[in-house]
């Protein structure tokens, strides 16, 4: 039934993916660290020796032009990310082949797939708008952390699906939930970075921010906010569809389409929070930082829904497979 060699290959590929992502983080950090600021600070030091180095307010539209070295490091980091993503995808493919089913039947597989979606979403963003490559360390860092935690605490060996999950709807409901979650993951990180960067920009506008700050290397606050919003806009209909598909499945599996099972309740809470985020961005007094906070809360709700509801509370969605 279960092909042990494929299952073992899947587990090994998981480690490979973690290693490649970690190397990507190192490369992204190197890109941030050995960027181009020597040129500018030298210039500034020459002008006002001894004075604290500050960013010119005009230099805030994005990271300053890169040195060839930094660009090379960024390219290496992106290549490592893509390689890691390939290994990561192979983890799921081999596991699916080992168990002869869709590879999201328990929490380990679900969370692994969510992280893969986040990596793919980031890669697509970074390839389409190269300025977003600079958030790589901040995306891949949490990715590595998540992968390590998943490997340590959520691991479940390859096995057959429980009866309740043997349905066509697994492919619809769980797949879209994974997509939505992974996209919200990237959106939430963009909002966190926006919150950091926008405060930095306020300080910089007042002439109080050091140009050596890591935040100077991030895309502009406006770009981060736009990225967060666009990814959330992309993820929201997918999440809505996932919830609706879940309700349709629940109707044939549990006898009712909605029953305030803990997972359903938190999926609803997440939906309401993301709806609030999309509204907040167009509401006077909520634009900018307050709405970004709402997006961050949305991600926190998604993570809570995954961890707490599966592992602590008892409900119908107890498919964690973690003892």
Partner 1 sequence: MRRVGGRLLRWWRQLTAMRTALILLFLLAVAAIPGSLLPQRSLSQSNVTRYFADHPTLAPVLDKLYLFGVFSSPWFAAIYLLLFISLIGCVLPRAAEHARNLLSSPPAAPRHLQQLPESTELTASLPPVAALDVVEEELRVKRFRVVRREGRAGPELSAEKGYLRETGNLLFHLSLLALLLGLAGGKLWGYEGSILVTEGGGFCNSFQQYDTYSAGPLVSQSDLTPLCVDLTDFRAEYEANGTAASFTADLDYGLAGAAMRATTIGVNHPLRVDGDRVYVTGHGFSPSFTVVLPDGRSFDDVSAPFLPTETATMASEGALKLPDLGAGATDQLALQGFFAPTGLLQGSVLVSTDPRPLNPQVAIFVYRGYLGLDSGLPQSVYSLDQTQIDRDQLTKVGTANLSVGESTTLDDGTVVTFSGLKEFAALQLSHDPGQGWVLAAAISLLVGLLGMLLVRRERVFARVGPAPDGGGTVLSIGSLTRGSADTAPRFTALTDQVRTALADRNRTSAPDAAAPSARGGAPEKEIPSS
* Interaction of residue 61 with partner 1, rule CB under 8 A: no
Segment interacting with partner 1, rule: CB under 8 A, options 82-90, 111-119, 146-154, 254-262: 254-262
Task: Confirm if 108 and 147 have CB atoms less than 8 A apart.
Answer: no
* Interaction of residue 248 with partner 1, rule CB under 8 A: yes
* Interaction of residue 273 with partner 1, rule CB under 8 A: yes
* Interaction of residue 253 with partner 1, rule CB under 8 A: yes
In the complex with partner 1, the residue whose CB is nearer, 45 or 162, is: 162
Task: Confirm if 118 and 139 have CB atoms less than 8 A apart.
Answer: yes
Q: How far is the CB of 219 from partner 1 (least distance, A)?
A: 13
Residues in a beta bridge with 54: 210
| Long-range CB pairs of 267-276, under 8 A, 24+ apart, other chains included | 267/242, 267/243, 267/305, 268/243, 269/301, 269/305, 270/239, 270/298, 270/301, 270/302, 270/305, 271/239, 271/240, 271/243, 273/297, 273/298, 273/301, 274/184, 274/232, 274/235, 274/236, 274/239, 274/298, 275/236
233, 289, 307, 322: which one binds partner 1 (CB under 8 A): 233
Q: How far is the CB of 163 from partner 1 (least distance, A)?
A: 4
How far is the C-alpha of 245 from the C-alpha of 187, rounded, in Å?
A: 23
In the complex with partner 1, the residue whose CB is nearer, 52 or 160, is: 160
62, 64, 141, 159: which one binds partner 1 (CB under 8 A): 159
* Interaction of residue 292 with partner 1, rule CB under 8 A: no
How far is the C-alpha of 85 from the C-alpha of 99, rounded, in Å?
A: 21
Q: Which residues bind partner 1 (CB under 8 A)?
A: 1, 159-164, 166-167, 169, 226, 229-230, 233, 236-237, 240-241, 244, 247-249, 251-262, 265-266, 268-269, 272-273, 275-276, 279-280, 282-286, 301, 309, 313, 315
């Amino acid at each position: 039934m279960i092909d042990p060699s494929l299952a073992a290959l899947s587990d090994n590929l998981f480690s490979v993916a973690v290693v490649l992502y970690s190397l990507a983080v190192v490369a992204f950090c190197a890109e941030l660290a050995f960027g181009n600021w020597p040129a500018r600070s030298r210039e500034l030091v020459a002008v006002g020796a001894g004075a604290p180095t500050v960013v010119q307010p005009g230099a805030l539209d994005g990271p300053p032009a890169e040195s060839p070295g930094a660009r090379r490091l960024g390219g290496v980091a992106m290549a490592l990310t893509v390689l890691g993503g390939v290994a990561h995808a192979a983890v799921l493919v081999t596991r699916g082949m080992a168990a002869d089913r869709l590879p999201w039947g328990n929490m380990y597989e679900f969370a692994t797939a969510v992280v893969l979606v986040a990596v793919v979403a980031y890669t697509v963003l970074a390839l389409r708008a190269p300025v977003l490559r600079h958030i790589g360390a901040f995306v891949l860092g949490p990715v590595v952390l998540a992968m390590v935690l998943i490997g340590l605490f959520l691991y479940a060996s390859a096995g057959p699906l429980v009866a309740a999950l043997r349905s066509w709807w697994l492919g619809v409901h769980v797949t879209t939930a994974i997509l939505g979650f992974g996209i919200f993951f990237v959106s939430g990180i963009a909002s966190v970075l926006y919150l950091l960067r926008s405060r930095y920009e306020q300080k910089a506008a007042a002439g109080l921010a050091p140009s050596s700050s890591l935040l100077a290397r991030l895309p502009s606050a406006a770009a981060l906010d736009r990225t967060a919003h666009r990814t959330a806009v992309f993820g929201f209909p997918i999440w809505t569809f996932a919830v609706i598909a879940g309700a349709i499945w629940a109707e044939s599996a549990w006898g009712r389409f909605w029953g305030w099972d803990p997972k359903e309740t938190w999926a609803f809470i997440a939906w309401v929070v993301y709806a609030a985020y999309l509204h907040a961005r167009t509401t006077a007094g909520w634009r900018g930082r307050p709405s970004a906070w709402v997006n961050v809360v949305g991600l926190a709700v998604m993570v809570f829904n995954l961890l707490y509801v599966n592992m602590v509370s008892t409900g119908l969605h107890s498919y964690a497979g973690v003892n």
